[in-house]
Amino acid sequence: MFLHRLTAHQAIDLIRKKQITVSEIVQDIFRRIEQVDGLIKAFLTLNKEEALRQAEEFDEKIKKGEEIPPCAGIAIAVKDIIVTKGIETTCGSKILKGFISPYNATVIEKLREAGAIIIGKTNLDEFAMGSSTENSAYQVTKNPWDLSRVPGGSSGGSAAAVAADETLVALGTDTGGSVRQPASFCGVVGLKPTYGRVSRYGLIAYASSLDQIGVITKDVIDCALLMNIISGSDAQDSTSLDIEVPNFLNYCQGGIENIKIGIPREYFEEEMDEEVKEAFQRSLLVLKGLGAIIEEVSLPHTVYALPAYYLIANAEASSNLARYNGIQYGYRSEDFQNLFDLYCKTRSEGLGQEVKRRILLGTYALSSGYYQAYYLKAQKVRTLIREDFNQVFKKVDLLLTPTSPTPAFRLGEKTSNPLMMYLSDIFTLPVNLAGLPALSLNCGYSQKNLPIGLQIIGKSFEEGTILKLAYTFEQHNRIEKRKLQIEGVNEQEEG
């Protein structure tokens, strides 16, 4: 039995029935990582010794009849921008090589309390700045559906690991689509919660008003399961809101009759791959057949979302990344004459090209004489975009769009053209500007066997409604099961 192919909820069920042990799952996952990660390069760090020790402890408690946490045995991979006590956290950057946090992020503490086992830290675009996971200082992650293509970004390592069965579930972060876009490219489920639903304490900041920790899973039930664990207010995060957390698993049932779904016309005025359009239209037919009401809506300020996003995000990044100067932690240049020289050389040598580009743009937007012309104006546009969503959600319950205008593109295809790379997130970043929840799940495949993602956008703190639609669609979207490029991933199990 190939245990690494299980979903988290299947694994929990088998553990509780004593049909498998926690150790068996964890050992099988590490065997899988050993088998395929040399090709995919999803992981930067493995936590094998500690993970196997935790698994053995849970098995011993089960043998003695002692109570175990509700999610004991969930093997989880964590994006290497979320701090983990005792495990290196690099943000995919040379400047943080060797940094080991003295504390855990709040989400990590919650996962450990629930019994989840961290198996390793996954690769990402440096400081989460990118859409392809090609900007890491350490390695380029590949898409398990086609090793010549990107897995998306910046949470590409987490998405690729889930798709290739190198983990049961994973954590990512989403600043402008960095959970949903790689979930789309890798054919898995990715949820970005409402801003404030999940604590950001321990998430190393890129753009503080946009960043949100999200989940990447094999199916919608696992998505709800993880949301139950990591959601909730946190006194250590001033942006965390004290909003009641429902049992999200309760939404993974029932139908969607008469639910109103809006289709933003502005999203279809953008350049879009024909196969993405076709998959989207087939998805609408499925939902109509299930009783959903579909209507066209307008988000008139969508056209300004991309420039507004990159001004705001980069301005915040220029401020957040000022702390990496070679003094307190991380990389330090060895050849310097004075303090100013140390700062310059450390940052020049320790930061990658994309990070430098964004710091420069952000610093320029915040500089005297340009603040009002650029940054302040971008914030005003952000307010207009948020108001667009508020008005539309008076008419409909959810919005539906493609996740990305194209399936996964080839490695190196857009690295020389930053603007083309930024356009990969054109359908996802308005959600972050408005602070809304959104989910991506697979809705079909291209002729080249590449997954295509469907994005469901909801009202603030209504992740449950999103999960309800996603679960129903997942159960009724009859698409042929495809095989990953990696040999042996979808062999038929024996016995």
CATH code, 68: 3.90.1300.10
154 is catalytic: yes
* Given 23, 132, 136, 154, the catalytic residue: 154
- Which residue's structure tokens are 């139950």? 228
pLDDT value at 240 more than 60:
yes
CB 188 within 8 A of CB 218: yes
Asked whether residue 239 is assigned to any structural domain, the reply reads yes
18 a catalytic residue? no
Using left for φ > 0, alpha for ψ between -120 and 50, and beta otherwise, residue 2 falls in beta
Interatomic CA distance for residues 330 and 204, integer angstroms: 14
Would 308 be classed as within a structural domain? no
25 domain-assigned: yes
* DSSP codes of every residue in 231-262: BS--TT-TT--------GGGGSSS--TT-EEE
- How far apart are alpha carbons 158 and 122 in whole angstroms? 6
Stretch 306-328: mean pLDDT, rounded?
A: 95
- 486 within some domain: no
* β partners of residue 137: none
- 366 within a domain of the structure (yes/no): no
Question: Predicted confidence band at 76 (pLDDT cuts at 50, 70, 90)?
Answer: very high
Give residue-wise pLDDT tens across range 273-295.
999 999 999 999 999 999 999 99
Domain count, the chain: 1
SS3 state at 85: coil
Task: Report how far apart the first and last C-alpha atoms of the chain are (Å, whole number).
Answer: 8
Q: Which of 101, 155, 178, 446 is catalytic?
A: 178
Q: Could you give the CA distance from residue 296 to residue 304 in angstroms, rounded to a whole number?
A: 20
**E strands present in 280-344:** 293-297
Catalytic residue selected from 41, 79, 142, 468: 79
CA distances for 414 relative to 130, 136, 426, angstroms:
11, 15, 15
Strand 117-122 relative to strand 75-79: parallel, antiparallel, unpaired? parallel
Res. 1: pLDDT tops 70: no
Q: Sorting pLDDT into bands at 50, 70 and 90, what band is 402? A: very high
Helices (H) and strands (E) in the chain, counts: 15, 11
Q: Which structural domain, as residue segments, surrounds residue 421?
A: 3-302+382-476
Tens digit of pLDDT for each residue in 175-205? 999 999 999 999 999 999 999 999 999 999 9
333 occurs within a structural domain? no
Q: At residue 348, does pLDDT exceed 70?
A: yes
Domain annotation covers residue 164: yes
- The letter for the amino acid at 187 is G
CA 284 vs CA 277, 344, 369, 449: distances in Å: 11, 53, 48, 21
In a domain, 316, yes or no: no
Question: Is 63 one of the annotated active-site residues of the chain?
Answer: no
